[in-house]
Each structure stands twice: as C-alpha cells, then as structure tokens.
A and B are shown apart, each in its own frame.
Chain A
Amino acid sequence: EIVLTQSPGTLSLSPGERATLSCRASQSVSSSHLAWYQQKPGQAPRLLIYGASNRATGIPDRFSGSGSGTDFTLTISRLEPEDFAVYYCQQYGSSPPINFGQGTRLEIK
C-alpha cells in the first residue's frame, strides 16, 4: 500500500503570500493518478488539481500543481482569504484503489 505523507501539517501564512504544500509518496506514483482537494469547514472536498498539474474546471490560476515520482507540490501563488482551508492529496492505485494524505491545514497568520 502506498502511503501519502503531507507536509507541513499546518501552514500559517498571510493573504498575498505564496503557499507551498508537499505530498510525498512511499513509492512512485503515476502523475496521472495524483490529485489535490480543498476542504473548508462544514463543506465537502472540492477537486483542485488532477493528473498532478491540471487545474479542475473553475479553479483559479493561482493554484498550480507539480511533481513526479514520489514528490508532488501544490502551490498557491498569492493567497486570497478564501484559500484558507485544509488540503488533501490523493492517489489512485491498485490496493487500495484510492488513498489520501493526512491533510495540510492552511491557516491565517
């Protein structure tokens, strides 16, 4: 089973700053099988990035994804107040077919 480890656990930044969130896999992951989600309190998760670097429909271009192999990154270029949330990476595999990282909480400094 591939384990996804996200870091940091909590990231404290101010609006306008750049956020860099990391997702490290215990084994190599196909880039096409790596996605990122945003979750705000009381809401369902929302797809942000799929295929490691493709923005989902309606996602602002300040969100970008990169990486390959075992190291993937979600970058938010200039934080807006609505970006403060919890972010999860997720990969599709074989057993189990889906697993998530433990999440990174992005909070206002």
Chain B
Amino acid sequence: EVQLVESGGGLVQPGGSLRLSCAASEFILGTFGMNWVRQAPGKGLEWVSYISGSGGTIYYADSVKGRFTISRDNAKNSLYLQMNSLRAEDTAVYYCARDFYNRIDSWGQGTLVTVSS
C-alpha cells in the first residue's frame, strides 16, 4: 500500500523558516509528480506546489511564490518543501500528495505548521 509520511512541522516565528519532508514508500517516487497541499484550521484545501517526477517542472501558488521551494530526492524516495519568510497566514496542515493522471490518488496524514510569535 502506498504510504506518504510528512515530517518537519512545528511552531515557528513570523519571518522564520521551516523545511518539510515527505517520505514515500511502496512505490517509486521518481515515477510520479508530487504536490504539497495545505489546509488552514477550519478552512478548505489549498494547493501549494507541484514538482514533476524528474524535477524538471515546478509550479507554485501565487501565495507562496518566491518564499517556498519544492524539491525532491528520488534516490531517497523523498519530497521536500523549504518554507522561508513565513507568515501567520501560512499556518496550516501541510499534506504531501501524489499526482496521478489528473488526480491526487494518495495523501499523507499531514504535518501542522504554526506561525506565531
């Protein structure tokens, strides 16, 4: 069974940085595009970023462009999200999510990021 396990969330002050990781198992990460999707407390789903299987194609939501960087290490079967210049509005559960032919077919359990002083 496909597994995605996020880590790296926590409490950070405004303006600070955090790096999220997503460990994939039971499938070869390099053959799939991957996404980060977030959900602020009590709110809906917001797509954050996408990276293709090779890493050659990357997209960001306007709300995080220039502050967040998505990357992957296929040899380690891992996905990352480097988050800089964090703001209160970045507070959310961040999900790692597998892309499969125009749908997200697998999600991690999420990791909570709280930006607060």
Contacts and interface: CB of A to CB of B under 8 A. Distances in A.
Does B bind A?
yes
Interface of A: 32-33, 35, 37, 39, 44-47, 50-51, 56, 88, 90, 92, 96-103
A43 B20 CA distance: 19
Contacts of B108: 44
Interface of B: 35, 37, 44-47, 50, 59, 61-62, 95, 101-105, 107-110
Q: Chain B at the A interface: mostly helix, strand, loop or mixed?
A: strand
B61 A35 contact: no
Contacts of A103: 44-45
Given A50-B102, A56-B105, A100 B46 contact: yes
A37 B102 CA distance: 13
A32 B103 CA distance: 9
A90 B44 contact: no
A89 to B, nearest CB: 10
Nearest to A32: B102
A96 B47 contact: yes
A35 B102 contact: yes
A44 B95 contact: yes
A101 B44 CA distance: 8
Given A98-B50, A100-B44, A100-B46, A46 B102 contact: no
A46 B104 CA distance: 9
Given A51-B102, A90-B104, A97 B44 contact: no
A12 B105 CA distance: 28
Contacts of A96: 47, 59, 61-62
Nearest to A54: B103
B95 A98 contact: no
Contacts of B109: 44
